[in-house]
């Protein structure tokens, strides 16, 4: 984590995103995408270990130091794909690789399926496709999502009197992380407010999706991946419980490696970050 990191803001036609940039200017281009409710600090351990790459680790919209979506809008997964495409164009990268964790891995697969000509390689950490739903569930799901969206303005984010209280809350969240990982994410994800600290993340990120892809949609995106893809599954993570999804992978393009650790193994500790780096070094920077 001692490697030089550059803090930047990327102005796009529709929003402004924050990012950390690692590696030499002439390194192979990689955009790193974090998981839901995380931020660019998710790659603070891993990125310095991937030498020879120009890694742009984004804060997704609504996360970290990036702008929030305009009022009255939501955070659909495909809107993140558009953001990433806009960042690549802003960087002048016609072809580039994607390094994605969890939701970031899902965004990566959607982009590689939709625009296979733009993606060089996919390096995925414990994420593959979004939660799916079937057609008969769609009206009820949309109704609930719209009701929740209308009510979100009445909800207030928690305020933690001390920084450590927020760290402890992050450790025991929906998907737990180590204390060291929680501290990294909190340093970037918290902001001071009267009475203590609260999260910078947009409250709308907690809302349910208005619409979900069906299983047929998800399989179609995977089948359109035409670049080399390396998927790391965490033994105690999320994907290990979804064996059916893994059966959709085409062995001609996807390599799958299972590593010990939890869902955030790449940031929980240095050993986990090193195991992930050892898998991705030669893959993202083939000699």
List per-residue pLDDT tens for the chain, 287 residues long.
447 899 999 999 999 999 999 999 999 999 999 999 999 999 999 999 999 999 999 999 999 999 999 988 889 999 999 999 999 999 999 999 999 999 999 999 999 999 999 999 999 999 999 989 999 999 999 999 999 888 887 778 899 999 999 999 999 988 889 999 999 999 999 999 999 999 999 999 999 899 999 999 999 999 999 999 999 999 999 887 777 788 888 888 999 999 999 999 999 999 999 999 999 999 998 86
In a domain, 186, yes or no: no
Domain enclosing residue 38, as ranges: 6-133+214-284
In a domain, 280, yes or no: yes
In a domain, 183, yes or no: no
Q: Which residue numbers are catalytic?
A: 102
In a domain, 41, yes or no: yes
Model-level pTM greater than 0.75? yes
- How many domains are contained in the chain? 1
In a domain, 155, yes or no: no
pLDDT of residue 155: 77
- State the DSSP string of the chain: --S--EEEEEE-SS-EEEEEEES-TTSEEEEEE--TT--GGGGTTTGGGSTTEEEEEEPPTTSTTSPPPPTT----HHHHHHHHHHHHHHHT-SSEEEEEETHHHHHHHHHHHH-GGGEEEEEEES--S-----GGGHHHHHHHHHHHHHHGGG-----BSSHHHHHHHHHTSSS---HHHHHHHHHHHEEEETTEEEE-S-GGGGSPPS----HHHHHHHHHT--S-EEEEEEEESSGGG-HHHHTT--TTTEEEEEEEEETTHHHH-HHHHHHHHHHHHHHHS--
pLDDT of residue 1: 47
In a domain, 204, yes or no: no
In a domain, 48, yes or no: yes
* CATH number of the domain where residue 264 is located: 3.40.50.1820
In a domain, 21, yes or no: yes
């Amino acid at each position: 984590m001692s490697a030089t990191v550059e803090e930047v803001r990327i102005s796009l036609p529709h929003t402004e995103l924050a990012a950390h940039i690692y590696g030499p200017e002439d390194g192979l281009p990689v955009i790193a995408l974090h998981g839901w409710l995380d931020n660019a600090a998710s790659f603070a351990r891993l990125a310095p270990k991937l030498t020879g790459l120009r890694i742009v680790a984004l804060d997704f919209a609504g996360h970290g130091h990036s702008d929030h979506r305009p009022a009255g809008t939501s955070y659909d997964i495909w809107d993140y794909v558009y953001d990433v495409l806009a960042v690549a164009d802003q960087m002048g990268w016609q072809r580039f690789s994607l390094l994605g964790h969890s939701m970031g891995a899902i965004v990566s697969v959607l982009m590689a399926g939709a625009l296979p000509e733009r993606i060089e390689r996919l390096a995925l950490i414990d994420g593959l496709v979004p939660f799916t739903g079937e057609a008969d569930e769609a009206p009820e799901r949309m109704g609930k999502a719209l009701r929740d969206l209308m009510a979100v303005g009445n909800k207030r984010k928690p305020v933690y009197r001390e920084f450590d209280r927020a760290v402890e809350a992050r450790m025991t969240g929906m998907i737990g992380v180590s204390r060291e990982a929680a501290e990294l994410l909190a340093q970037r994800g918290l902001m001071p407010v009267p009475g203590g600290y609260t999260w910078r993340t947009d409250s709308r990120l907690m809302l349910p999706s208005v619409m979900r892809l069906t299983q047929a949609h998800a399989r179609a995106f995977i089948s359109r991946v035409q670049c080399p893809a390396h998927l790391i599954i965490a033994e105690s993570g999320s994907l290990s419980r979804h064996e059916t999804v893994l059966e959709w992978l085409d062995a001609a393009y996807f390599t799958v490696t299972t590593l010990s650790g939890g869902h955030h193994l790449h940031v929980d500790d240095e050993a986990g970050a090193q195991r992930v780096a050892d898998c991705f070094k030669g893959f993202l920077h083939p000699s």
